[in-house]
Structure 1
Amino acid sequence: MMAVRKIRSFDEDFEPRDFVESAQEIYINAHNCLVSKNKLKIREYVTERAYPEIRHNIHDKTIHWKFIQSLEPPRMVHARCTDVITKENVFSQITVRFHTQQILAIYDRFGRLMHGSEILAKDVLEYVVFEKHLSNQYGTWRLHEKIIPDWMPPPEPSLKTFRLADTNTQ
């Protein structure tokens, strides 16, 4: 409640119910930019911290992603505000719970399927952190990070292709 009150001190029109709807739009737009590999447009939807991670994870890959539907309405589960260096420089982070149906297929650089399927929809439960620089009057909410809980299995190691040195030449 205190964090929401702090956000409202910078943005009088802030309403958590309205925010989660716009957060879902940001989430979908960020993923669509990721699929299309639009480097410039994706910066509008993700923070400077998330951008290099996203770019690194899609290098030499082809991604097919589609948002099908929300199984539950998105909801705000946590909010926090903090000042950085000075009291006037305030950042806010809001964690949103998404329970959705999505299609995801990831292909390597040779066109081989690495993960997922283009026809099978999966139920996805995600906790996504959105961040806004409140002190900046032109600041916007952007995707900052996805929280991976401890109980989730670690991601499967990706298969890498290597070129072996020619052992016949001396």
Structure 2
Amino acid sequence: MKTFVLGGGCFWCLDAVYQKTKGVTSVISGYTGGHDRHPDYYSVCSGTTGHAEVVAVSFEEDVIPAEVILDMFFALHDPTTLNRQGYDVGTQYRSSMFYETTEEKILFEEAIERNQALWAHPIVTEVSRLPVFHVAEDFHQDYYAKHPEQGYCQVIINPKLAKARKYYSAWLNA
């Protein structure tokens, strides 16, 4: 079992896709990378905590390779925009990857190199050591599954799910 902590804008987006991915055993929305010892959604959204919205994606490598998890990450958000994803603007929405081991850091750096060819502009994804992972409030866990009719889900998340189905259908559950 391996776990990657990834930030690609609003955590609801990554959560929605990885929840449907074969071999993924859990996806937990949370915050990391900042200085506030007790972040919550409102403090993180204020932009003053330094934290990013992230997901901790746990997966079975014998079912899905780490490289596929990471390539999906780069396909599901724009890693070339600094501190924003679409209409979500602020450091909390930065493209980020948080590692715990040197092996993970190398995997992340290789994924950036591998995926750079897909983008016209340089990838600005932050690669940092994982400090503390703070689990987000229950309201944010499995958000898309609980609220698929919500406007944000319809306008922002559904296109990401469609993109995942188009390019990664072999790795998604029916």
User: Shorter-chain-normalised TM-score: which range?
Assistant: under 0.3
Q: In terms of Rg, which structure is larger?
A: 1
Tell me: higher relative CO, structure 1 or 2? Use CA pairs within 8 A at least 6 residues apart: 2
Instruction: Tell me the TM-score normalized by structure 1.
Output: 0.25
User: Which protein is richer in helix relative to its size?
Assistant: 2
User: Which protein is richer in strand relative to its size?
Assistant: 1
